[in-house]
Amino acid sequence: MPEQQLFRAVLLQGLTDSLGKFDIPSRLNAKYEIEAKEWLESKDFNLICSYANWQPSEIIKMYSDISKHKHYLTATDIRYLLNERLTRRY
């Protein structure tokens, strides 16, 4: 379903942003990181998870696991790992 893929992409981008990993350096990245972290605790995050057919608690657990290793991962690495874990799980 194309809509599900869109919402999954939104989740992956939000999670990557909340880890402070960006492909393009910008002065605004710190702001985007803060906003993404706030989004993870919002009703909108839960709604997007339901549209993507993923459980918010599972997403947060994966996010937590990956965040422990974010110091040596790139944005591309993080998106790949999240996508792989989510694809296998659902």
**Per-residue pLDDT tens digits for 13-65:** 999 999 998 888 899 999 999 999 999 999 999 999 999 988 999 999 989 98
Measured between alpha carbons, how far is 18 from 90 in angstroms, rounded to an integer?
22
pLDDT at position 36, please? 96
Measured between alpha carbons, how far is 50 from 20 in angstroms, rounded to an integer?
24
CB 18 within 8 A of CB 39: yes
Measured between alpha carbons, how far is 21 from 15 in angstroms, rounded to an integer?
9
HSE-up of residue 40 (Cα within 13 Å, Cβ side): 21
Measured between alpha carbons, how far is 86 from 89 in angstroms, rounded to an integer?
5
Report yes or no on whether pTM surpasses 0.75: yes
DSSP for residue 72: G
pLDDT tier, 89 (very low <50, low <70, confident <90, very high otherwise): low
pLDDT at position 37, please? 96
CB 75 within 8 A of CB 32: no
